[in-house]
Amino acid sequence: MISGGGTGGHIYPAISIANALKEMHPDTEFLFVGAKGKMEMEKVPEAGYKIVGLWISGLQRSLKLSNLMFPFKVASSVLKSYVLLKKFKPDVVVGVGGYASGALLYAASKKGIPTLIQEQNGLAGLTNKLLAKRVDKICVAYEGMERFFPKENIVFTGNPVRNDILNVYEKKAQGLAHFGLSSEKKTLLIIGGSLGARTINNAMAEGVERLLQEGFQVLWQTGKLYYEEMMERTAALASDELKVMPFIKEMDMAYGAADVIISRAGASSISELCLVAKPVIFVPSPNVAEDHQTKNAMAMVSKEAAEHVADDEAPEHLVSEAIMLLTDVNRQDLLKENLRLLAKPHAAQNIANEVIGLIK
């Protein structure tokens, strides 16, 4: 059983772990457990796996009536987890973060079922910190995680990513054709995370005309929340050089088409982009615990593997930085090379091996 979700940063690693296990042992049976109403309930079945939803959600930072339901949601989710465990009889339960994984792994550890958690960030999430002393293995992507977890249970594996992005340079022509883009122009890819990023979207809505005038083409994932607004704001610019989409499912094609990428700096995004090895400008989200996306981004900048624009500076500087990088081939080559040095292409297989080890 594999549990977790809420954002693509949790969901795609979970799917990657399942795919790696399936490749090693094709007869493996899987059951995913997520939170009702969250994006994993859509994305996991699209990947070919069955998922069951728990009635669980996080506490709101502001004082809201929905917070009063939190204890009841936790109790309900733990009880349902016991029922699912009894019915499915898993050999191992894997958690990738999120409240659903907290309920399931708590129940699994109480029943003595082997458990493993995967922490994507250099700053451990609340659910994984609470589970740390209960689980058998903790797979991490950053060094120094003994600050949060028992040292003896930590395994340094890297973050799992989708297999289809391992050879995106071979998909350049295919990617351009897929999105109806020209092979004669440089392509800027904008990805603000699976849910979108308001600051990045606003900066692009204000500056995308300049990019087009400079002779570049733009492939822009707005996120579903912002799609209609961004389409309205750029309606006068409609052209073959501007592709605005709510969500890009074929990310391997998008990465293949891209010459430069603008992205948030979540841990999973960084792990993917190291493997993609295309020049990237990180715009860290300020709306995360302890500003960990900025820490992620600056770690990359310190190794000359990425550029950085702060969220509050994006409206004024992001488009200018993108144009500068799109026109500086030497800088692009340096970033590509340093990104490749940081890539961990076998993370999913490493985690799968730890899972199999727990069964044995």
Give tens-digit pLDDT for 152-209. 999 999 999 877 888 899 999 999 999 999 999 999 999 986 667 999 999 999 999 9
Stretch (H or E) spanning 341: helix 329-342
CATH-assigned architecture of domain 2-159+345-359: 3-Layer(aba) Sandwich (3.40)
Residue 195 has a pLDDT of: 67
- Whether the predicted pLDDT of 295 surpasses 90: no
Tell me the CA distances in angstroms from 260 to 176, 202, 216, 231, 317, one per residue in order.
14, 19, 11, 22, 16
Which of these, 175, 314, 179, lies nearest to 242 by C-alpha position?
179
Asked if pLDDT for residue 240 goes beyond 90, the answer is yes
0.85 exceeded by pTM: no
Q: How far apart are CA 318 and CA 307, in angstroms?
A: 10
Annotated binding site: 7-9, 121, 162, 194, 248, 293
Sign of CA dihedral 40, 41, 43, 48: positive
Q: What is the pLDDT at residue 137?
A: 98
> CATH number of 164-342: 1.20.1250.20, 3.40.50.300, 3.40.50.2000, 3.30.70.100?
3.40.50.2000
Positions of CATH 3.40.50.2000 in the chain: 2-159+345-359, 164-342
Binding site for UDP-N-acetyl-alpha-D-glucosamine, by residue number, is 7-9, 121, 162, 194, 248, 293
Predicted pLDDT at 64:
63
Q: How far apart are CA 217 and CA 185, in angstroms?
A: 7
Q: What does each C-alpha distance from 178 to 156, 181, 222, 257 come to in angstroms?
A: 37, 8, 18, 9
Q: How far apart are CA 183 and CA 25, in angstroms?
A: 41
Determine the pLDDT at residue 125. 84
What percent of the chain clears pLDDT 70, i.e. is strictly above it?
95
Which of 230-239, 282-291, 327-336 has the least mean pLDDT? 282-291
Structure tokens at 20: 């790696």
The average pLDDT across 82-93 equals 97
Three-state DSSP at 304 gives coil
* Residue 261 to residue 177: CA distance in whole angstroms: 18
